[in-house]
Amino acid sequence: GAVVSQHPSRVICKSGTSVKIECRSLDFQATTMFWYRQFPKQSLMLMATSNEGSKATYEQGVEKDKFLINHASLTLSTLTVTSAHPEDSSFYICSAPQGEKLFFGSGTQLSVL
Amino acid sequence: AQSVAQPEDQVNVAEGNPLTVKCTYSVSGNPYLFWYVQYPNRGLQFLLKYITGDNLVKGSYGFEAEFNKSQTSFHLKKPSALVSDSALYFCAVRAWGNTPLVFGKGTRLSVIA
């Protein structure tokens, strides 16, 4: 079946640095990808919708200058957390639709010290 | 806009007893309904989905869910709970097309031996 690969699975970084998370659809093309964030013991909240060849659509309250999304090809979307701070520590997970199905990456646990 | 309600933060059940995790939804048009499970420090695992057809959907690990259009519900059930079923369960809904999943807040299931 279709697979979405997300890397890295875990990253620890210093406050003020930037972190890039990659999400790849391995055997299908994804014109759209979704980025979610999950704080401890909370639900998954949609951050933004990534669109191949155009600007991402951000949900209300999500800073687009802080969470940079690039969807440069039909199989790759990246989320860059710029100038990360401890409050950005969270579990980030991407997903890509294929028809009525939605495939998830394995997630990235970001810890900002 | 879509929304999902999981009215119970926590469900406790004895091993071997039947379990139910409740979910109600709101969506324009026909709903696509999903259940996911999340184990500690891990990503989401797909359990089952309802797209169309039989209202009773069978999924992984012996779980099933019943789509009830009149009550806008999609409760997750299992006839006999296992301790290993203890995890965080998310109900989710999406509309047709390249639309994101909207997740409920999650229900923590504890199966006690």
Interface of B with A (CB under 8 A): 32, 34, 41-44, 46, 49, 51, 90, 94, 96, 98-106
Closest-CA residue of chain B to A42:
B105
Chain B neighbors of A105, CB-CB under 8 A: 43
At A9-68, the pLDDT tens digits run 999 999 999 999 999 999 899 999 999 998 887 888 999 999 998 899 999 999 999 999
- For residue A2, the model assigns a pLDDT of 63
- Residue of B73 and A44 predicted with greater confidence: B73
At B43-63, the pLDDT tens digits run 788 899 998 889 999 998 999
Q: Give A72→chain B minimum CA distance, Å.
A: 18
Helix (H, G, I), strand (E, B) or coil at A15: coil
User: Taking the CB of residue B66, how many other CB atoms lie within 10 A of it?
Assistant: 16
Cβ of A74 under 8 Å from any chain B Cβ?
no
- Reduced 3-state DSSP string for chain B: CCEEECCCCEEEEECCCCEEECCEEECCCCCEEEEEEECCCCCEEEEEEECCCCCEEECHHHCEEEEECCCCEEEEEECCCCHHHCEEEEEEEECCCCCCCEECCCEEEEEEC
- For residue B97, the model assigns a pLDDT of 72
- For residue B18, the model assigns a pLDDT of 97
Q: Give B16→chain A minimum CA distance, Å.
A: 27
Quote the tokens at residue A99.
């028809």
* Band of pLDDT at residue B94, cut at 50, 70 and 90: confident
At A66-87, the pLDDT tens digits run 999 999 899 999 999 999 999 9
Exposed e or buried b for every residue in A23-38, given b needs 16+ CB within 10 A?
bbbeebebebbbbbbb
- Residue of B41 and B3 predicted with greater confidence: B3
State phi, psi for B84 to the nearest 5 degrees.
Answer: -70, -10
What would the mean pLDDT of B87-98 be, rounded to a whole number? 87
Candidate from A43, A100, A101 with C-beta closest to B103 = A43
Helix (H, G, I), strand (E, B) or coil at A9: coil
The DSSP symbol for A97 reads: E
* Band of pLDDT at residue B39, cut at 50, 70 and 90: confident
* Band of pLDDT at residue B41, cut at 50, 70 and 90: low
Max Cα separation, chain A?
Answer: 40
Closest-CA residue of chain B to A10:
B41
Residue B35 has pLDDT above 90, yes or no: yes
Residue B96 has pLDDT above 80, yes or no: no
Residue B33 near residue B67, CB atoms below 8 Å: yes
- In chain A, the N- to C-terminal Cα span, in Å, equals 37
Average pLDDT of the residues of chain B: 92
Residue A47 near residue A77, CB atoms below 8 Å: no
Quote the tokens at residue B54.
């039989």
Handedness of CA A71, B4, B105, B86 (dihedral sign): negative
Complete DSSP assignment for A30-70 = -SEEEEEEE-TTS-EEEEEEEETTS--EEPTT--TTTEEEE
Helix (H, G, I), strand (E, B) or coil at A89: coil
- For residue A101, the model assigns a pLDDT of 77
